[in-house]
Amino acid sequence: MKTSIRHLAAAFSAAAFALCALAVPFRLTAADNGPDQIVVGAALPLTGEESRIGGFYKAAYELAVKEINDLGGLELRKFHRKVPVKLIIYDDKTDPATSRNLYERLAVQDHVDAFLGGYSTELVQAQTVVPQQHQIPYVNGGGAATEIYHRGFKTVFGVLSSIENLAYTECDFIEQMQAQGKLPKPLKMAVVWENTSHGKDFVAGLSARAKQKPQNFKIVLNEGFDLHGKDFTPLMQKVKAADANAFMADAHLDDYITMQRQYRQAGLHHAYVTYGARGPEKAARDALGDGVNYIFAATWWNSQIPNAAVRAFDEKWSKAYPKIPQEWYAALPYETARTLFIAMTEAGSVDKTRVTEALRHIDIRDTIIPGGHIRFEADGQMTAPFVVTENLPGGKVVIVYPKSESTGSATLPVPNT
């Protein structure tokens, strides 16, 4: 089952023209005509620690729904017509228990046809018990931890490739830099990670590579930390004592900003610095200025990816939200919603079993995801490439890996400025 988003949009337009040209000689009953609307629900962190990113997800979902409704709705073949989409979004206040309860409300009170997921590992883990319990299809672009998908849930799907794959991607890039003489062998890594399944996946990936290739990688510090910390000074002292030449952190945005500030205050310097998926965010640049220079990140998307679908999304987003920067927090939820809508179109109805089955077998080309391809593994998670970026002075960001996506060369080792 292969579907192009471009072809889907063309199909929407053609169907709209056909409906306008058709004179219907009788009125169908409500039972024959199907639903008046397709109800899709989500709970997002619109307040609390993750509120900035929750705002991106809300904007992206609303943009995707507006695009569909501007075309007249989703084409449901079973009812021979288009049906508009109603989007319900609640604020879970960055609280897992609240998030789970709101998805229960969406299922039981709002009678949603499908779920869109929230953002952050803790929230997505809490949410996903509800779609499994009620057998409602759920697609998210905000939870990458493998633990989310290893519970045998059959209605849960995610477009974020795993954090283990993120770690492998950075290691692949590092090996390339070692081959060019830009980084030492073995790279002695001080690894610090958030104490969640997200962080555990990160250190698992690095540990696996270090075991596989000890000539390239050696872990000299392996330390977890709690989310949303205020004082990482003791942790930075451990990093200083570790005699590492790479600082490998896995952190959410607020912890990345706090930790990098305290990293610099401690006078630390390493040949390679990463915060996993965090790095090029405007919020970090605004908070730290030149303090984010030469940080590397492996991310699920970047606006510089050189393909037509990404350029089209860039233009679309900039027009809809000129004051909101383009980051992966915008692109992934947008593509999450589009994936759900394509599955519903493939299913031809809002029947939950059919939509779930369409998601299980979906094969979408020409997407904005690196590699341009969306399909799910048996556990519901997607495996897709990452791009590695580097922050440069003057607010510049370049893609340095893979070569097929690169927009610049890596500056390594990190200058001691």
Question: What is the tens place of the pLDDT at every residue in 374-405?
Answer: 999 999 999 999 999 999 999 999 999 999 99
pLDDT of 363: 97
Domain that holds residue 43: 3-21+30-161+304-365
pLDDT of 33: 73
pLDDT of 78: 86
Q: What is the CATH number of the domain that holds 225?
A: 3.40.50.2300
In a domain, 375, yes or no: no
| pLDDT tens sequence across 128-155 | 999 999 999 999 999 999 999 999 999 9
Q: How many domains does the chain have?
A: 2
Same domain, 157 and 167: no
> What is the separation of C-alpha 77 from the centre of its chain, rounded to a whole number of angstroms?
31
Predicted TM-score of the model (pTM): 0.90
pLDDT of 25: 32
Q: Cis peptide leading into 413, omega within 30 of 0?
A: yes
In a domain, 194, yes or no: yes
Tokens 């000890």 locate to 214
Same domain, 115 and 248: no
Same domain, 289 and 184: yes
What is d(CA 1, CA 8) in angstroms, rounded to the nearest whole number?
Answer: 13
Percent helix / strand / coil, the chain, rounded to 5 = 45, 20, 35
In a domain, 272, yes or no: yes
In a domain, 377, yes or no: no
Same domain, 256 and 394: yes
Same domain, 314 and 355: yes
Same domain, 171 and 74: no
Same domain, 38 and 54: yes
pLDDT of 8: 46
| pLDDT tens sequence across 293-344 | 999 999 999 999 998 999 999 999 999 999 999 899 999 999 999 999 999 9
Question: In whole numbers, what is the pLDDT of the chain averaged over residues?
Answer: 92
Amino acid identity at 74? L
Burial class (CB in 10 A: 0-12, 13-18, 19+), 159: buried
Q: Cis peptide leading into 402, omega within 30 of 0?
A: yes
Low-confidence ranges of the chain (pLDDT < 50): 1-30
Q: How far apart are the first and last CA of the chain?
A: 52
